[in-house]
A and B are shown apart, each in its own frame.
Chain A
Amino acid sequence: MAEVEETLKRIQSQNGVQGIIIVNTEGIPIKTTLDNASTVQYAGLIHQLVMKARSTVRDIDPQNDLTFLRVRSKKNEIMIAPDKDYFLIVIQNPSD
């Protein structure tokens, strides 16, 4: 448990990381380092995106599944690690 906390702290202190959000299956953010409004916005929008991405991957090959999703935009990069029970979302600005 302490190791997990340490890893989260390390991730947060990396260069350019703007926020970390952990969302449960229902779409409710359960741990976040951003403010409430952004967290709720990210959680809601990303939830839908991940569902769509996952069903895309599985429609092409039903034995496949989504393991990681990265959305690179002009200003930053959103990295999403989806799982059955949760999503882990990290927003990073790599050019910092």
Chain B
Amino acid sequence: MPVNFPDVQGKRDTVKEQVTEDMLKEVIDLYISETDSISLLDIPSTFVSVDADDAEPIMERNNQYAEACRSRMDNDKYVDQSVQTLNGATKNKQVQSDSIVMVDKVGSTDSTGNNASGWVLSPVMSLLACIILLCFSSASAASSLKEVEALGNSLNAESDLQLIMLSEKFQHCLLVMERSILGNIFQPQLAAYRQLPVIEDPESPVKPGMGEQREEDAESPRSPAVVRLWAFSCELSRGSSVSSMAWNKKNPDLLAVGYGEFGSSNQKPGLVCCWSLKNPTWPERVIRCDSAVTSLDFSSNNPSQLAVGMQDGSIAIYNVKSRDNKACFISSSGCPNRHLDPVWQLRWTQQELSLTGEEKVESLFSVAADGRISKWFVSNNGLDCIDLMKLKKSHNTKKKAGGTTTGKKTESVLSALTPGLCFDFHPTDASVYLVGTWEGLIHKCSCSNSQQFLETFKKHFCPVNHVTWSPLSPDVFLSCSADWTIQLWKQDHHKPVLGFTSTQRTVCDIKWSPKWATVFGAVNEGQLEIWDLNSSILDPVIVQPAAAGVKMNSLLFAPQTDCVLVGDSDGQVTVYQLRNLCVGDSSQVTLKGKPYIFVPEQHQKRHYRPTWTTVEEIQYTFHF
């Protein structure tokens, strides 16, 4: 009988030869030869005689085949495509059984005194029992083995979990997931924001209250109103007051909001949150600042740079792209010329280079409570500034003009500068700007003249909180003040063209609408007002009162959509949508009612009639 042990492998001790230098230098011949050809498939062609019975169908099939080969190129039936099969990860399938717990039955002892379990009685039975026990024990051993394996796997799973949770891809994946979930929750509000048409879901159960509401809406005349969509708020910002808001210049969904606690004199740390429209419940970036934030602005040349001005006078530029909290890359704390008082407003403005005129250089401008307007630039290790203008108090200049006798005493011992509260650059001519001061004066200044104001507009007698050029009408601007009024000015007139009052509260913020030339919004502490000069100059078209106990203090229009954002003293930024605001583009607007300005006798009979020529290029002219 042939004994064949093909699988038996003896263990051979391989003797290792010492490799010597001489052996390396030896010339060894290697012979390369071809292997025999291996044929994988060989179907020889068969021959059929022409006279055979099945010659005809065979010839037909041959013709068809030749035809098919010819038409293979462009025929839709033949597709040449590569396909990749994905092999899923191999899975170890395990079977797990609970371990068999052997419990000694505390029962009667038999006559021999053994602690006998009920079924071990006779030797045959005992043999059987032994076999069974053996099986069970092996099973239990096996199961315990498998348990160990399973446990081992769960340990692997734990380390897997750690690895997964720390990876960047998982964080991104969580971000996308959170946004999808919130997209589902906020879907109607976001659709309203983006002005998508609302289609009723035929499947959703119609709630009983909705039917009535819909009827009501259809019946009531469409009066302009604001509808609250949602509010950006989180636990970090609750309790602080919103001081300023700014949209990112490149990504219109990104909003930066500055928070700070004002009121008490001690410097509490402030906060900047960058919110994305896609997540109204948690900000994308949170930046903690040393002191309360009073102003912010995004840069246009470098859209990820955010300049933040604070209550202690320092200015910091943050890069919002990086997730690191300490992403501040430039601060003005080292500059000897820095502001020592709250920076009330910051603006990045592009000014053309005088030499080449090609590249628009962007600079950061600030106005602060120490009465200086400064232009900042990056020097070797921080920010440095030059002063564009010092806001001198008006009574000093009067003394100066009085005569030579008081010429020496031009500057009083106390600070000769009045705090500047707001400024705005002209939309087309970036070297001209307006400044609103604590005294209630608005000065028009030029970047090239740092000694004198070009013009002064006097009307307010309390601090001017905000001044803003109209983006659509070239020479018109609005100012609002703590004296409860809003004034509309035209550039060359020393007296305001129109004045507006609605409540007896200080007007905190005012902004022009980016879409409609006659619409602007204002917040005083108790309510949001939307004014439309086309329909009424005496009353706001829409009034939205603030929630109880909360003061509204800042306002921002959303570009490209008809929504308005209002920041309040509780750290919430609420988004309202303007509805049914019909701003027609009529070519003639006659002002109804008496305007709030002094009308000289001889002009009383004429009407003030502004003419609006086209929607793009609007002129606001008066006929005297």
Query: Which residue of A1, A28, A74 contacts B157 across the interface (Cβ within 8 Å)?
Result: A28
- B122-130, B172-180, B250-258, B535-543: which lies at the A interface? B172-180
Are B89 and A25 touching (Cβ within 8 A)?
A: yes
0/1 interface trace, chain A 1-45, chain B, CB 8 Å (1 if under): 101110110110011110000101111101100000000000000
Query: Is A49 in contact with chain B by the CB < 8 A criterion?
Result: no
0/1 interface trace, chain B 171-203, chain A, CB 8 Å (1 if under): 101111110111011010000000000000001
Are B173 and A83 touching (Cβ within 8 A)?
A: yes
Query: Is B20 in contact with chain A by the CB < 8 A criterion?
Result: no
Q: Note all chain B residues with C-beta closer than 8 A to A30.
A: 157-158, 160-161, 164
> In the complex, what residue of chain B is closest to A77 when comparing beta carbons?
B184
B317 to chain A, nearest CB (A): 24
> In the complex, what residue of chain B is closest to A12 when comparing beta carbons?
B181
Q: Note all chain A residues with C-beta closer than 8 A to B203.
A: 74
Are A7 and B178 touching (Cβ within 8 A)?
A: yes
Q: Note all chain A residues with C-beta closer than 8 A to B178.
A: 7, 10-11, 14
A10 to chain B, nearest CB (A): 6
Q: Note all chain A residues with C-beta closer than 8 A to B174.
A: 4, 7-8, 11, 88
The CA of A11 and the CA of B204, in the complex, are separated in Å by 25
The CA of A68 and the CA of B177, in the complex, are separated in Å by 9
Q: Note all chain A residues with C-beta closer than 8 A to B171.
A: 3-4, 7
Query: Is B77 in contact with chain A by the CB < 8 A criterion?
Result: no
Query: Is B16 in contact with chain A by the CB < 8 A criterion?
Result: no
Query: Which residue of A7, A26, A31 contacts B161 across the interface (Cβ within 8 Å)?
Result: A31
A28 to chain B, nearest CB (A): 6
Q: Note all chain B residues with C-beta closer than 8 A to A77.
A: 184
Are A79 and B164 touching (Cβ within 8 A)?
A: no
Query: Which residue of A14, A58, A86 contacts B182 across the interface (Cβ within 8 Å)?
Result: A14
0/1 interface trace, chain B 282-312, chain A, CB 8 Å (1 if under): 1000000000000000000000000000000
Query: Is B92 in contact with chain A by the CB < 8 A criterion?
Result: yes
Q: Note all chain A residues with C-beta closer than 8 A to B86.
A: 51, 54-55, 58
A42 to chain B, nearest CB (A): 15
Query: Which residue of B153, B166, B167, B204 contacts A95 across the interface (Cβ within 8 Å)?
Result: B204
The CA of A25 and the CA of B169, in the complex, are separated in Å by 15
Query: Which residue of B177, B185, B282 contacts A79 across the interface (Cβ within 8 Å)?
Result: B177
Q: A15-B185, A51-B88, A85-B164 are in contact. Are A10 and B169 (CB under 8 A)?
A: no
Query: Is B84 in contact with chain A by the CB < 8 A criterion?
Result: yes
Q: A59-B83, A85-B164, A86-B170 are in contact. Are A24 and B180 (CB under 8 A)?
A: no
B288 to chain A, nearest CB (A): 15
Are B82 and A62 touching (Cβ within 8 A)?
A: yes
Query: Is B105 in contact with chain A by the CB < 8 A criterion?
Result: no
> In the complex, what residue of chain B is closest to A82 when comparing beta carbons?
B173
Query: Is B395 in contact with chain A by the CB < 8 A criterion?
Result: no
Query: Which residue of B83, B177, B185 contacts A94 across the interface (Cβ within 8 Å)?
Result: B185
B interface list, Cβ under 8 A from A: 82-86, 88-89, 91-92, 153, 157-158, 160-161, 163-167, 169-171, 173-178, 180-182, 184-185, 187, 203-204, 281-282
